[in-house]
Amino acid sequence: MEHTNDTSPDHAGPDHANAEAASAGGAPRDPGAEENFWDDRYADMEQLWSGKPNATLTTEARELPVGRALDVGCGEGADALWLAEHGWDVTALDVSGVALDRAAAQADVRKVTVNWLHAGLVEAALPQASFDLVSAQYAALLRTDGNVAEHALLAAVAPNGVLIFVHHPAPTAEEAANHGFHADDYVGPAQVAALLDASWQIEVDETRPRHVATGAGSRHTHDVVLRARRLR
């Protein structure tokens, strides 16, 4: 849901409420209400995010061989557009029709093709093992007892494909309470990493500094980055 470069995010989610925006008030858990929440949030501003791709995505994906990519919670489309301009066959999904309209308009201006899906990750029922890159940048995926969102992410990755999952460090209990945000409601890199078995290789699992000057995500100073490759 949130995309950012060294400015700010540009993603919006489905069962991914953008973690940034979710922390600013808490997105609803009901899918219909969540879609309205994000449409209203986007409609309040001419442009919510920076319009630039997330720096972690560009760093991690730049040397990958191009193929099919899935952008989870694409928001206004900065990451999806960057991937398409670098030769990827991109599918990008989001629950907000307002955000997708903006993303599609930018694709027309930049003369690139992206398959835009108006859906959440779980509801999209994507073909399994079909994406060489699955990117989830600050997507606030709702946690469930059955780890449904995590399994949907992992299932989408093709053999020898890569998952790049990036999030903000978990807020303190005080920060979460101040914003009516419950971090345990949302999937973090640790929850995804815990499900990886011998068919996966973790290539990056770290917290690194983040330099974002403006935009909705500018107060965050670090990223938690998980990059994992599906071996078979």
Q: What is the pLDDT of residues 138-157, one digit of tens each?
A: 997 999 999 999 999 999 99
Please give the model's pTM, rounded to 2 decimal places: 0.82
pLDDT attached to residue 216: 47
Phi-psi category of residue 73: left, alpha or beta, with phi > 0 → left and psi -120 to 50 → alpha: left
Alpha helical stretches, state H, the chain: 19-23, 31-43, 55-61, 78-85, 97-110, 148-156, 173-178, 189-193
Give every strand in the sheet of 157-167, ordered side by side: 114-118, 89-94, 68-72, 131-137, 157-167, 222-230, 200-209
pLDDT attached to residue 61: 96
pLDDT attached to residue 83: 98
pLDDT attached to residue 3: 40
What's the chain's Rg over C-alpha atoms?
Answer: 16
pLDDT attached to residue 168: 81
Mean pLDDT (the chain, rounded): 83
Q: Domains in the chain, start-ordered, CATH in brackets?
A: 16-230 (3.40.50.150)
pLDDT attached to residue 50: 82
The low-confidence residues of the chain, meaning pLDDT below 50, are: 1-10, 12-26, 213-216, 218
